[in-house]
Amino acid sequence: MPKQTAKRRPTRRPTARIRERVFESDSTYFFKLVVIVLLGTLWLKFSEPFMVAGFQFTAIPLGIIAGFLTVRAFEQHQLDRKIWYAVLLVVGVITYFVPAGIVI
Nearest to 63 by CA among 31, 97, 37: 37
Cα–Cα dist 47/36, whole Å: 26
Residues 6+ apart with CB under 8 A from 52: none
**In the chain, where the domains are located:** 40-103
Cα–Cα dist 72/81, whole Å: 7
Whole-structure pTM value = 0.67
At 50-63, the pLDDT tens digits run 888 888 888 888 99
pLDDT at 20: 59
* 37 or 5, which is more confident: 37
What is the DSSP code string of 70-93? Answer: HHHHH---HHHHHHHHHHHHHHHH
